[in-house]
Amino acid sequence: DVKVTQSSRYLVKRTGEKVFLECVQDMDHENMFWYRQDPGLGLRLIYFSYDVKMKEKGDIPEGYSVSREKKERFSLILESASTNQTSMYLCASTQRGWEGYTFGSGTRLTVV
């Protein structure tokens, strides 16, 4: 069964910490995405990547960076975690931008 795996299901971090969220897909997909989901705001795109070492800003990139050194892995980095980054983070991948996405199970991050 094809999969997108996010490294942590729940994470608690302190304000100011550098946080790494990892995502791995086993489908050889070109495109990978990071979203955050908050009540009342829906899914919002943070960053995406359509190739190794390529990245594009989404709608809310401030406070985040990403890394894609290998095709199967897309990392989201919170440079200095803040309480307003407490959220559910979802990684997704797809072979072509118009095809259905496969999502991971999500990481619920709490910044205290």
Partner 1 sequence: SQKIEQNSEALNIQEGKTATLTCNYTNYSPAYLQWYRQDPGRGPVFLLLIRENEKEKRKERLKVTFDTTLKQSLFHITASQPADSATYLCAPSGSSNTGKLIFGQGTTLQVKP
Q: Percent helix, strand and coil across the chain, each rounded to 5?
A: 5, 55, 45
Tell the smallest beta-carbon distance from residue 65 to partner 1 (Å). 17
Q: Considering the rule CB under 8 A, would residue 15 count as an interface residue with partner 1?
A: no
Q: How, if at all, do strands 107-111 and 102-103 pair?
A: unpaired
C-alpha dist (Å) from residue 64 to 1, 79, 100, 106, 109: 31, 6, 25, 17, 14
Q: Considering the rule CB under 8 A, would residue 31 count as an interface residue with partner 1?
A: yes
Binders in 67-86 for partner 1, by CB under 8 A: none
Candidates 21, 36, 106, 111: give the one binding partner 1 (CB under 8 A). 106
Q: Considering the rule CB under 8 A, would residue 34 count as an interface residue with partner 1?
A: no
- Beta bridge partner(s), residue 4: 25
Instruction: Kindly list the residues in this chain that would bind partner 1 in the complex (CB under 8 A).
Output: 4, 30-31, 33, 35, 40-43, 45, 48, 50, 56, 58-59, 88, 90, 92, 96-106, 108
